[in-house]
Amino acid sequence: MSDYRISAADRETLSHISTATLTASLIKRGIKRGFMQGVHPIKPGLTMAGHAFTLRYIPSRQDLVDRRYDNSTNVQRLAMEAVGPDQVLVVDARRVIATGTMGDILAHRIRERGCVGVVTDGSLRDTPALRAMDFPIYLGGAAATPSHTHHHPVDMNVPVGCGDVAVMPDDLIVGDSEGVVVIPNAMAREVIDEAADQEELENWVVEQVKTGRPLQGLYPPNEETKAQFEAWKNSQ
Report the binding-site residues for substrate: 103-106, 125
Query: How far is Cα 193 from Cα 1, in angstroms, rounded to an integer?
Result: 20
Q: Which residues are annotated as a binding site for Mg(2+)?
A: 126
Q: Which residues are annotated as a binding site?
A: 103-106, 125-126
CB atoms within 10 A of CB 57: 24
143 backbone dihedrals φ, ψ, rounded to 5°: -155, 135
Q: Helix (H, G, I), strand (E, B), or coil: what is residue 8? A: helix
Say how many Å lie between the first and final Cα of the chain, rounded. 39
Of 46, 45, 147, give the one whose Cα is nearest residue 92: 147
CA distances from 145 to 30, 59, 98, 131, 139 (A): 39, 15, 7, 18, 15
Q: Which alpha helices (H) appear in 90-187, and where do they start and end?
A: 104-112, 127-132
Query: How far is Cα 159 from Cα 38, in angstroms, rounded to an integer?
Result: 19
Helix (H) and strand (E) counts in the chain: 8, 12
Question: Are the C-beta atoms of 160 and 54 separated by less than 8 Å?
Answer: yes
